[in-house]
A and B are shown apart, each in its own frame.
Chain A
Amino acid sequence: MESFDEGFELKEIQTLEGHSDRVWSLAWNPATGHSGIPLVFASCSGDKTVRIWEQNISSGLWNCKAVLEETHTRTVRSCAWSPSGKLLATASFDATTAIWENVGGDFECVSTLEGHENEVKSVSWNASGSLLATCGRDKSVWIWEVQPGNEFECVSVLQGHTQDVKMVQWHPTMDILFSSSYDNNVKVWADEGDSDDWQCVQTIGESNNGHTSTVWALSFNASGDKMVTCSDDLTLKVWETDNIGMQSGNGVPPWRHLCTLTGYHDRTIFSVHWSREGIIASGAADDAIRLFVENNERMVGGPMYKLLLKKEKAHDMDVNSVQWSPGDKRLLASASDDGTIKVWELATL
């Protein structure tokens, strides 16, 4: 890995307007940005719509290619592309999760997943695209199996959190699910037996160096042996596990607290995302974006991660989501309460 030192700036490429309410979340299509396919991402908003943005290869700027509306009747809180980039899942406060398929440039709602009692807050696909997870205010986490013909069958309803579940996220290579909650905990779920029996295999809470308030988001590094979480307690925490690919069927190895990044953001941290090359981006209610990298010249007892840069006033209001793009360029997109999305390039000075 390249070592990162001073001499970087977050350069604003474009501000995208179109949503008429706060933008809660965004997701890059993982199948774009290479082999000549222009970069695409989706954004979702309190205006009940989802917008699809595509980069124009010659200008390098993004245009809104589609507005997905008149399906969700309340806030669309989160969205996620399947690994193939063919399907988009959107989770809404209207208690449903919609599945959209790109048919010749038009997005059609091909399935609606019902079951949660009320607000659905997050949705995530597993690495192979065979499973989908959703979570919400009813404190439960649902696992859905993708069937032929865009059918989705619920295979498990996981209870365990004592408050609303803010985010679900699958591990990048293994079928292990992570959920974070208003109850301050992160839970790890796995299907350890032969039966389709998903269970909580670990709870990461205050008693094991976990967060002391709502955990809003989590993200993995590229190899999947580290995880970062962010919280209303104003900290980011990095966790590690034994090399997850090497396990020999002895169950899911536990996650251990590696370090806590504190004293940076001074309001709730809503979003965190780890880039393929190891840069952690965080977005918060202090309107700022911060980037952290591993500290290579670490003195004994010194911090394991250091601030690479901060972008104060990245938006006029809270930053709700930060996401690194696929592809070769170091592009970061951010979504805000100010109703805009910004695309940034991490450039050398």
Chain B
Amino acid sequence: MTLGLINANPVVHAKKERVARTEDPHADDAVDPLDIYDFVRDIRDPEHPYSLEQLSVLSEESITVDDKLGRILITFTPTIQHCSMATVIGLCLRVKLKHFFPPHYKVDIKVSPGSHADEESVNKQLNDKERVAAALENPNLRQLVDECLYSNEL
């Protein structure tokens, strides 16, 4: 019974192999996109027991870093155009990154162009820090986010 699921039959892709990293990750403070990708690829989708990587919601190309300005931009692609979970995915990314990066990094999170019916409103909401702060104080949303971040059911 799939009633209630927004996207009942998502396409699932294979996980990519991890790139073995030989250099000391603490050698310098520079942040590179692959570091970020490695950090967020295993976030679980809010609806399915698959990771954002497996559902191609995220890829390495969806992350750009301007180290000089300290800016990180993540674009993700919801599995369907009317995905009401897009804001939850955005919250997950924001919470996860907060624990990883020096606080002076500025993180922008967007859906990739053309990937969502309400692209503009989703993007505005994801980048309004007051709304983000309020959402993360909401126990139900917080629980949903935590389940996506800490679930081992992949």
Contacts and interface: CB of A to CB of B under 8 A. Distances in A.
Given A75-B133, A75-B134, A137-B134, A214 B103 contact: no
A75 B106 contact: no
B24 interface: no
Interface in A127-151: 137
A181 to B, nearest CB: 12
Q: How large is the interface on A (under 10, 10 to 19, 20 to 34, 35 or more residues)?
A: 20 to 34
Give the secondary structure class of B's interface.
Answer: helix
Contact of B130 (A74, A166, A316): A166
Nearest to A94: B137
B18 interface: no
A46 B133 contact: yes
Interface string B96-111: 0000000110100000
B124 A214 contact: yes
B66 to A, nearest CB: 12
Interface string B118-144: 000000100011110110010000000
A267 interface: yes
B42 to A, nearest CB: 27
A318 interface: yes
Contact of A338 (B103, B124, B128, B133): B103
Contacts of A74: 137
A28 interface: no
A324 interface: no
Contacts of B103: 316-317, 337-338
A171 interface: no
Contact of B124 (A46, A77, A213, A316): A213
Given A77-B130, A182-B128, A213-B124, A287 B137 contact: no
Contact of B106 (A164, A285, A338): A285
Given A182-B128, A214-B124, A93 B106 contact: no
Interface string A301-335: 00000000000000011100000000000000000
Contact of A121 (B106, B130, B137): B130
Interface in A86-113: 93
A182 B128 CA distance: 9
A182 to B, nearest CB: 7
A183 B133 CA distance: 19
A119 interface: yes
B137 A316 contact: no
Interface in A289-304: none
Contacts of A317: 103-104
A64 B146 CA distance: 35
A74 B130 CA distance: 13
A77 B131 CA distance: 12
Contacts of B124: 182, 213-214, 232
Interface of B: 103-104, 106, 124, 128-131, 133-134, 137
Given A166-B130, A182-B131, A338-B103, 18 more contacts: A46-B133, A75-B134, A75-B137, A93-B134, A93-B137, A118-B134, A119-B134, A121-B130, A137-B134, A182-B128, A232-B124, A232-B128, A267-B106, A285-B106, A287-B104, A317-B104, A318-B129, A337-B103
18 contacts: A74-B137, A75-B134, A75-B137, A77-B130, A93-B133, A93-B134, A93-B137, A119-B134, A121-B130, A164-B131, A166-B130, A213-B124, A214-B124, A214-B128, A232-B124, A232-B128, A287-B104, A317-B104
For the complex of A and B, list the 7 residue pairs with the smallest distance between their C-beta atoms, beginning with the closest. A74-B137, A119-B134, A93-B134, A317-B103, A316-B104, A93-B137, A75-B133
